[in-house]
Amino acid sequence: MNPYNIYISGVGGQGIIKTSVIMGEAAMKSDLSVVVGEIHGMSQRGGVVSTQMKIGDSRSPIIEEGKADLLLAFEPLEALRAVNMINKESYVVTNTSSIYPFNIRQSEHPYPELSILLDELGDHAKKVIALDADGIAKDAGHILAVNMVMLGAAAAVPGFPVDKQIIIESMKNNLPEKSIPINLKAFEEGFRVCSSNIYAEG
């Protein structure tokens, strides 16, 4: 199959690496080839992090500008920073909860309004799905489940190449057993919210 390109962005401490691991294992369980680019940036809380994944026939993990099928952004400003990776057929799934990057904290420029960020993303994508992943994770039982909220939302995007149940199997293989109930609740709610958003407009 032609590769399905996923660009993941956010900040350190949000579980982006673990999300990539679970996605990659689920793809392999589905007998799909998968290549993952290196994690870039600082892994500590607040440092910018991004990774690239191709599911399907590809030798290189590097996604060319404008070629991402899905932009999965754990932080809204980081979604906008990656806008060059998407095109008019791309889906964007972004968390609406902001984490002020170090460079903005130290800058005279304010953090942009969320509505401005989402409008700009909408001008470049087929559809933008925005959800309060932090709030959903807290309701599920723990803020650290935010990555599973985002993973659930990604699984609901039309054309996502890995079946939801296989992703859940990979979650169970890669997460501490005691955290599974909370993470499954977070995943399912992310999936539900994204599905509702996608199909609400017909």
The predicted-structure confidence for 41-58, as pLDDT tens digits, reads as follows 555 555 678 899 999 988
Residue ranges of alpha helices (H) inside 45-84 are 76-81
Distance between CA atoms of 120 and 55, rounded to whole angstroms?
A: 27
The predicted-structure confidence for 9-22, as pLDDT tens digits, reads as follows 988 778 898 999 99
The predicted-structure confidence for 101-138, as pLDDT tens digits, reads as follows 555 555 566 778 999 999 999 999 999 999 999 999 99
Q: Which fold has domain 4-199?
A: Pyruvate-ferredoxin Oxidoreductase; domain 3 (3.40.920)
Distance between CA atoms of 76 and 118, rounded to whole angstroms?
A: 8
The predicted-structure confidence for 186-198, as pLDDT tens digits, reads as follows 999 999 999 999 8
Q: Please report, in angstroms and rounded to a whole number, the separation of the first and last CA atoms in the chain.
A: 28
Q: What share of the chain has pLDDT > 90, as a percent?
A: 76
| Tokens matching residue 191 | 């999936």
- Please tell me the predicted confidence (pLDDT) of residue 107: 58
The predicted-structure confidence for 66-102, as pLDDT tens digits, reads as follows 999 999 999 999 999 999 999 999 999 999 998 765 5
Q: Are strands 48-55 and 40-41 parallel, antiparallel or unpaired?
A: antiparallel
Give 174's pLDDT tier (boundaries 50, 70, 90). very high
Say if residues 44 and 53 touch (Cβ distance below 8 Å).
no
- Please tell me the predicted confidence (pLDDT) of residue 198: 86
Higher pLDDT, 108 or 167: 167
CA-wise closest residue to 140 among 189, 178, 98: 189
Output the furthest CA–CA distance in the chain (Å, rounded). 50
With 90 as the cut, is the pLDDT of residue 173 above it? yes
Distance between CA atoms of 142 and 84, rounded to whole angstroms?
A: 33
With 60 as the cut, is the pLDDT of residue 140 above it? yes
Say if residues 60 and 35 touch (Cβ distance below 8 Å).
yes
| Tokens matching residue 32 | 């799909």
Looking at every residue in the chain, the average pLDDT score rounds to: 90
Distance between CA atoms of 35 and 121, rounded to whole angstroms?
A: 26
- Please tell me the predicted confidence (pLDDT) of residue 46: 56
- Please tell me the predicted confidence (pLDDT) of residue 202: 46
